[in-house]
Structure formats: C-alpha cells, structure tokens
Amino acid sequence: MGCSIACNLALTAGAHGLRRVVLLERDTLGSGSTGRSSAAVRMHYSTAVNAELAWRSLQIFRNFDDIIGGECGFTRTGYLVFAGADDVESFRANIAMQQSVGVITDIIRAADAAELAPGFAVDDAAGIAYEPYSGHADASGTAYAYATRARAEGVTIRLQCPAAAIETNGDGTRVEGVRTADGDRIATNVAVVAAGPWNARFLAGHGIDVPMVATRHEVLHFRRPLDVVPHHPGGADISNRIYFRPEGQDLTLVGNGNHSDVVDDPEVYAQRASQAFIADVWQRVARRIPALADAELAAGYAGLYTDTPDAHPVLDRVDGIDGLYLCGGFSGHGFKLSPMVGVLMAELVGRGRAETMDISPLRLSRFAEGALNGGGYGFAVLA
Ligand SMILES: Cc1cc2nc3c(=O)[nH]c(=O)nc-3n(C[C@H](O)[C@H](O)[C@H](O)COP(=O)(O)OP(=O)(O)OC[C@H]3O[C@@H](n4cnc5c(N)ncnc54)[C@H](O)[C@@H]3O)c2cc1C
C-alpha cells in the first residue's frame, strides 16, 4: 500500500501541488504482510465497494507494464468459487452484485468446473462460479515495481528507517512533521499511515484508537501429481473453508479460512506452519482435490493479516488532525486492491476526496457509527 500510494502521489503531484514525497519503511519493502501474501487476484466479494476496488485493480494488473512499468507477475488462471448448500443463497446474491458493478463472473455447471480443474471433486457443490480473468500476481514484485516507478518520479524511499512519531501543532489539530527513529525530522503537513499490522500500535502511541488487530495465518504448498491434476485455476472453497491457487510448475498453494490467532507484537510470531494446521488443512483440501491426499508437502509458512470488525479496510483521513490519513485493515485480501487503493488515496490526499469511486463505506467513523459493512460468509475464506 505504501509503495502504491507513494507512486500514485508522485504521478499526480503536478495536479495537486505536493512538492516532495518520502516513503519511510521500517525494514525492507515487502517485509510485512505483502511479502507473505498468496497474492490471489479475484473478484468474489460480498460488498460492492470491495468488488469494484478489485475489478478496477485487475485492469491495472493486466496492463501493469503500460500503466506503472515493470513486472507485477500477473498470471491469469481463472478463479473458481465453490459454495455449499448453507451458503448458496448469499453466494448467488453476491454474484449478481458483482455483475452489477461490472465484474465478469458467472455461475457454471459442475461439468464445466471439472473441465477447468481436472482431478477436482465437484459434484458436492451447491453452486460454482467462475471468473475467467482472475489469477494471481507476485506481491513483492508488485511492491518493488511501484517503488521503482515512484523513485523514477522523484520519491525518496528510506529503508530501515521507521517513522517514530507524527508531530502536530500545539493543540494537536494539524500535522507539522514526521520524526524518524534515527532522529531526523521531515517537515510536512501531510502524513499517510499505511503500516499494515503495525497500524494500531503506531496510532495508539499517538492517542488514536483504531479497531485493527494483527492475526496470524498459515499457507501450505503441495507438490501435486501432474498426471492427475496437470493444471487448475485459483479458487475458494467456501464449504471446506480453504482457498488455493497454482504456484510455479507443479505446486498448489493452499490457505484456510477458519484459523486465526491474534498477535500482539507484529514482530514476534511463529513464522512456520504448525502440525495441527497441516493435518487439518490437508484433510480439507483433499476433499476438493483428492489427489493431494498423497502429495508431498513442499513448504509451509505464516504471515499476518490486519483485521477490522467488518473485514473491510479503512481508507480515510483521521478526523480532528488535519493532514493525517490512514490506509489499512485489509484482512487477508488487500494485495489485489492495492493498485486502486494507491489511486484513491492519492485523490483523497491531493484533491480532498476520492473521485474515481465512492469509498465512503470504508470511512473510519463507521465503527463508532455502528455502520459496519455487511455480507460475507462468516469467515475469511477468500484471500
Ligand atoms: C498469508 C497471507 C496470505 C494473503 N493472501 C492474500 C491474497 O491471496 N490476496 C490478497 O489480495 N491479499 C492477501 N493477503 C493480504 C495482503 O497481503 C495484505 O492485505 C497486504 O499485503 C497489506 O499491505 P500493507 O501495505 O497494508 O501492509 P504490509 O505489507 O504489512 O506493509 C506495511 C509496511 O509498513 C512497515 N512499517 C510498519 N511500521 C512502520 C513504521 N513505524 N515506519 C515505517 N514503516 C513501518 C512494515 O515494515 C511493512 O513493510 C494475504 C496476507 C497474508 C499474510
């Protein structure tokens, strides 16, 4: 998010008069959630705001070299969504909503799914949707490409340089600068906080409470038997609470939707997959892809989501402090939104409001208002 926002701010700087953009990174680019992202790029959401963000972002991923330059690694695989009997009604309503905002997706027959994904068990599904244009990208590569373009547009990127504090005027109503951990002071009247799982801690240090929690999530890679499952699209299996996508030549990446542990300090968490997770997810994925029951487990690791009470992000200014903005809380699905998030945050900062689309459902005040975004299947199966 930081790289996308900095790049988009620089690309539009002439129009809104920002003179200098500096990106501060605590460690290295992609060292937070982004570097561990499964980087699925799919459109299946339960709210129009997320579906539209994803659809508009997809157009940037598909034309990345022309728009931003460099490699985002977008790989079109198509995307399948399997729903069980309990979820099929909301699933159908979600497909209709996605189509209404322009997403190309449709409900398909089990026989069509079997053709798209040879070796998959498809007959138990109460509904199956297919997005022909979706796929996955390279999350670290995308961040790096945004950073490279940002640098070319004049952005200064300071690595291993944490922001220590946002400085305000006497009564705390206006941003006046940012102090770095090594003691530098950058004079500025605009600061955008996009610190992923660190957001809540960083802002709490400034007396600002945001309902964001870091949670730990695991991912496994299986080496699949190519004679049985030669290829397959990306997808989500709502009944078995897993998501999957192909990785490289012969791996299938699998994540899950029903385990999450809250992590107090984003710098301290177990980074490897646990035995309990492996046993559980292995059984569940084998219900959808039976040949994986005997596959080799090639890798397992964990990363952090940043959860909000409605699993939707915050893209907003912070009320009461002029010049302070917040971008975060993307749960397990922010990577695919990052191209549009950069565009919209640059509009919000530079022009005073997001113009390309309505992001009011993502305002920070919704939590206090009790106006949470609805929908969802009750768990975060869709990465
Ligand atoms: C296992 C896993 C699988 C996922 N799968 C998908 C998926 O398939 N599709 C999808 O769309 N999304 C997915 N996500 C979610 C997605 O990766 C995140 O929503 C996205 O990467 C969030 O980006 P970010 O820039 O907000 O956070 P981050 O990538 O965490 O970036 C925040 C950065 O801020 C830096 N920072 C922190 N504090 C400071 C400070 N004080 N000063 C300066 N810098 C600071 C950190 O070092 C970090 O680099 C997944 C996430 C995980 C963990």
Within a 13 Å sphere around the CA of 304, how many CA atoms are in the beta-carbon half?
25
For the stretch 307-338, pLDDT in tens is: 999 999 999 999 999 999 999 999 999 999 99
With contact defined as beta carbons under 8 Å apart, do 28 and 342 qualify?
no
Count the residues in the chain: 383
Q: How many domains does the chain have?
A: 1
Strands 191-193 and 324-328: parallel
The confidence score (pLDDT) of residue 379 equals 44
> Which atom of ligand 1 lies closest to the CA of 243?
8
Burial of residue 9, with CB atoms counted within 10 A of its CB: 0-12 exposed, 13-18 middle, 19 or more buried? buried
Q: Is the CB of 83 under 6 A from ligand 1?
A: no
89-120 pLDDT, tens digit per residue, is: 999 999 999 999 999 999 999 999 999 999 99
Q: Is residue 248 part of a domain?
A: no
Query: What value does the CA radius of gyration of the chain take, rounded to a whole number of Å?
Result: 21
Inside any domain, residue 158: yes
- Which amino acid is present at 350? G
Structural domain of residue 201, as residue ranges? 1-211+311-383
One-letter amino acid at 312 equals: H
In the reported structure, the alpha carbon of residue 36 is separated from the centroid of ligand 1 by a whole-number distance in angstroms of 8
Q: Which residue's CA is minimally distant from atom 15 of ligand 1?
A: 332
Does residue 300 fall inside a structural domain?
no
For residue 247, is it within any domain? no
Contact 82, 125 (CB under 8 A): yes
Instruction: Establish if 299 belongs to a structural domain.
Output: no
- The alpha carbon of 335 and the centre of ligand 1 are apart by a number of angstroms equal to 8
At residue 298, the 3 state secondary structure works out as strand
Q: How far is CA 364 from CA 201, 202, 211, 329, 350, in A?
A: 16, 16, 9, 10, 19
Q: How far is the CA of 359 from the centre of ligand 1 (A)?
A: 20
Both structure tokens of 154: 């004049």
In a domain, 290, yes or no: no
Closest CA to 382 of 282, 234, 251, 266: 234
The atom number, within ligand 1, closest to the CA of 3 reads 25
Residue 306 CA: nearest ligand 1 atom is: 19
**Cβ(51) – ligand 1 distance below 6 Å:** no
Q: Tell me, yes or no, whether 26 lies in a domain.
A: yes
CA 34 to ligand 1 centroid distance, Å: 4
* pTM higher than the cut 0.95: yes
Which sign, positive or negative, has the C-alpha torsion 26, 204, 186, 183?
negative
In a domain, 106, yes or no: yes
Where the chain has pLDDT below 70, the residues are 375-383
Read off the CATH number of the domain in which 101 is found: 3.50.50.60
Residues 6 or more apart whose Cβ sits within 8 Å of residue 10: 21, 150, 153, 154, 155
In order of 136, 206, 275, the CA distances from 320 in angstroms are 39, 13, 47
Residue 371 is predicted with a pLDDT of 95
